[in-house]
Amino acid sequence: MQNAFQIVYLIPLFPLIGFLLNGLLRKHLPRPAISLIGCTSILASFLMSVWVFIGVKNGNTHVAEYFDFIRVGKLVIPFAFQIDALSSLFLLIITGVGFLIHVYSTSYMHGEKPEHFARYFSFLNLFVFSMLLLVMGANYVIMFIGWEGVGLCSYLLIGYWFKNQEYNKAANKAFIMNRIGDLAFLIAIFWLIAKGGSANYSDLESFVTKLSGTDITVITMLLFIGATCKSAQIPLYTWLPDAMAGPTPVSALIHAATMVTAGIYMIARSNILYSLSPLTMNVVAYVGLATALLAATIALKQNDIKKVLAYSTVSQLGFMFLALGCGAYTAAVFHVMTHAFFKALLFLGSGSVIHAMGGVQDIRQMGGLSGKLKVTFITFLIGCIAIAGIPPFSGFFSKDAILLSAFEKNPVMYGVALFTALLTAFYMFRLLFVTFTGSFRGTEEQKHHLHESPAAMTIPLVILAVLSVIGGLVGIPEVLMQGGDKLASFLSPVIAAHESPNPVSHSTELGLMGLSTALVLGMIVFAWVKFKNYKSKEETGFGKVLENKWYVDELYEKIIVQPLQQAATFLKNVIEKNIIDGLVNGVGKATQYGSRQLRLLQSGQVGSYVLLMIVSMVVIFAFQFFLRK
């Protein structure tokens, strides 16, 4: 298996080549060629990833150093790829789910002009390339390159329909908010290098002795701020729902395979540092929990099919951060994996619905689609069950692991998390029932237009549905099956085993599982009763607050954007116009005035020249004899 590691650089290279081919030849390639290039490049790197994964599973790890990226004094930052359990798992998720999304896109984006079609695929490939770079890098600097690349690609893809001003604004919002986190991440890297002298993951162990407790806390906090931004946590989450401006497969890619998992990956990667800073761990856990709850409440009342899914992503990411904060890194990574499956499924399913509806995203205009869109409905249902957490679907195992870790940390946390999980089940099934059951509420024309999506779209749905069902079986808790938690043992070389401060007994664990399952089932029934014959009505009171997302965007607008804009206006109108322009114009005017006066000296009369010469001589003599001493 050693040779798989020799050519590990091919994994990111394939998407890069795909990006270059599609990007440079976008005006010359026909549509099938573009699809072929886009999908094959990802498929190739998926196959490579599988090969590498098998190698890692056999117990091998590898750090491939190619050249020195930065060499300044004693600081050496190599351009190196690290292949171990964590990165190989992420490679599989990224390329696997990424490939399915690519295949789906070939059909979904079929209406675009070939040129834009190629642009779309080149961006997708670049996105995957950046994400691969992010997870494969053997130090924080290489990760940062991918980190920035992901931010850029999200900007490009959210603003893919760049003729729409609103979409451009959403793209700008995503990019600018990401910059805030990037700054924190960058400072963390600098801090790490300044104090530890290295940014390599392999040196993290040695930092434990080099760095003081404060250093570790500050670094982990800064890294966490970076992660809150990429992974859409409070207070920097508002860009993610707006990122729905992009095409639906892009949303799927951002939410499932790439981008938002970057923050989780980064913290899981730095688990050694985080384990040393209980303060940061608590902050991570509470921020994650708060985000999960807030986003879930917002999702309850959203009417845009993609917005519901977007807030559910934010909420699920909150769960992952909760797990990270509780020290259950394995659970977080597990949830990343299962979430990638069912969230990609749900997004692609919603894309299929939107496709059938001719671009309509408002669920109030849908209803009763289950008859026409059978495959979509069934797969969507599977996705909903998975995210709600009903055994033996994948979401159950990962969510249960998170809930358990929260319970071990603090039962109150567990309560809130469980409540959020119930909300998750509720809003997901609300979405399902409102969209697929009841009677159709759209126009006749739309009703006539309804059709099941082509195979290129349904096959990825089916594959993802299968994965959503069985994906959780790699992490069956010990209490249900001896040696069932294969994922934890797989990740154990990279992530220290989660040692619970106050482990719960098996019976308690089983009881908790049963409790959550029963409550979730109850919630689904409640949603069924409430929404099987949905009629849209105006929201009032608290519901309106939720529908308007707690007015967080408006709050940000008021307390951050507007003061900044006012300051900028002040600077522009007062400082710039009067002081800076005045200074510049004043210099010009002074020069003009001075030269107009000085011009008179040049009378052309020899006498005056001689007079000036003598005067200057007097001055020079005086200076030389009297002042120079």
Partner 1 sequence: MNIIQILFWFLSVIALFSALMMITSKNPVHSVLWLILTFFAISGHYILLNAQFLAIVNIIVYAGAIMVLFLFVIMLMNLNSETEPQKNRWLKMAGAVSGGCLLLVLVAALKDSELLKQQAQVNEGYIGLIKNLGKNYSALM
Partner 2 sequence: MLINYYIFLSLALFCIGIVGVLTRRNAIIIFMCIELMLNAVNLLLVAFSKMHHLTAAAADPNAIAGTDAQIFVFFIMVVAAAEVSVGLAIIVMMYRNVHSTDVNFLNRLKH
- Residue 606 C-beta: closest distance to partner 1, Å: 12
Give which of partner 1, partner 2, none residue 67 binds (C-beta under 5 to 8 Å, depending on kind).
none
Among 555, 610, 619, 620, binds partner 2 (CB under 8 A): 610
Q: By the 8 A CB rule, do 415 and 404 touch?
A: no
- Residue 605 C-beta: closest distance to partner 2, Å: 5
Among 602, 616, 622, 623, binds partner 2 (CB under 8 A): 602
Give which of partner 1, partner 2, none residue 622 binds (C-beta under 5 to 8 Å, depending on kind).
partner 1
- Residue 601 C-beta: closest distance to partner 1, Å: 13
Q: At what angle do helices 394-409 and 329-357 cross, to 10 degrees?
A: 140
**DSSP string covering 346-398:** HHHHHHHHHHHHTS--BGGG---TTTT-HHHHHHHHHHHHHHHT-TTSHHHHH
Cα separation values, 76 from 80, 141, 266, 281, Å: 11, 11, 21, 30
Q: Name the one residue in this structure whose structure tokens are 């001493």.
A: 629
- Residue 625 C-beta: closest distance to partner 1, Å: 4
Regarding 598 and contact with partner 2 (CB under 8 A), the answer is no
> What sign does the dihedral 115-120-125-129 (CA atoms) show?
positive
Residues numbered 568 to 627 that lie near partner 1 (CB under 8 A) are: 607-608, 611, 614-615, 617-618, 621-622, 625-626
Nearer to partner 2, 162 or 609 (CB): 609
Report cis status (omega within 30 of 0) of the bond before 235. yes
**Phi, psi (deg, nearest 5) at residue 393:** -70, 160
- Residue 623 C-beta: closest distance to partner 2, Å: 19
- Residue 597 C-beta: closest distance to partner 1, Å: 18
Q: By the 8 A CB rule, do 59 and 76 touch?
A: no
For 114-151, give one letter per residue: b (16+ CB within 10 A) or e: beebbbbbbbbbbbbbbbbbbbbbbbbbbbbebbbbbb
CB atoms within 10 A of CB 212: 9
Among 67, 209, 604, 625, binds partner 2 (CB under 8 A): 604
Q: Which of 523, 373, 568, 559 is nearest to 451 (CA)?
A: 373
- Piece of the chain touching partner 2 by CB under 8 A; list 57-65, 264-272, 598-606, 620-628: 598-606
Nearer to partner 1, 560 or 611 (CB): 611
- Residue 591 C-beta: closest distance to partner 2, Å: 21
Query: 555-594 mask for partner 2 (x: CB under 8 A)?
Result: ----------------------------------------
CB atoms within 10 A of CB 272: 16
Give which of partner 2, partner 1, none residue 618 binds (C-beta under 5 to 8 Å, depending on kind).
partner 1
Give which of partner 2, partner 1, none residue 603 binds (C-beta under 5 to 8 Å, depending on kind).
partner 2
Residues numbered 269 to 308 that lie near partner 2 (CB under 8 A) are: none
- The residues that bridge with 82 in the sheet, in sequence order, are 63
Q: At what angle do helices 411-436 and 374-388 cross, to 10 degrees?
A: 170
Nearer to partner 1, 559 or 614 (CB): 614
- Piece of the chain touching partner 2 by CB under 8 A; list 289-297, 353-361, 436-444, 608-616: 608-616
Regarding 202 and contact with partner 2 (CB under 8 A), the answer is no
- Piece of the chain touching partner 2 by CB under 8 A; list 347-355, 419-427, 495-503, 607-615: 607-615
- Residue 615 C-beta: closest distance to partner 1, Å: 5
Q: Is 75 helix (H, G, I), strand (E, B) or coil?
A: strand
CA distance 101 to 250: 8
**Phi, psi (deg, nearest 5) at residue 138:** -95, 5
- Residue 594 C-beta: closest distance to partner 1, Å: 22
Q: By the 8 A CB rule, do 20 and 34 touch?
A: no
Q: At what angle do helices 411-436 and 394-409 cross, to 10 degrees?
A: 150
Q: Which of 149, 123, 133 is nearest to 34 (CA)?
A: 123
Report the Cα 227 to chain-centroid distance in Å: 9
Give which of partner 2, partner 1, none residue 559 binds (C-beta under 5 to 8 Å, depending on kind).
none
Among 603, 619, 620, 624, binds partner 2 (CB under 8 A): 603
Give which of partner 2, partner 1, none residue 602 binds (C-beta under 5 to 8 Å, depending on kind).
partner 2
The residue count for the chain: 629
- Piece of the chain touching partner 2 by CB under 8 A; list 313-321, 422-430, 590-598, 604-612: 604-612
Give which of partner 2, partner 1, none residue 501 binds (C-beta under 5 to 8 Å, depending on kind).
none
Give which of partner 1, partner 2, none residue 606 binds (C-beta under 5 to 8 Å, depending on kind).
partner 2
CB atoms within 10 A of CB 569: 10
Nearer to partner 2, 515 or 614 (CB): 614
Among 607, 626, 628, 629, binds partner 2 (CB under 8 A): 607
Instruction: Give the interface with partner 2 as residue ranges (CB under 8 A).
Output: 602-607, 609-611, 614
Residues forming the site for partner 1 (CB under 8 A): 607-608, 611, 614-615, 617-618, 621-622, 625-626
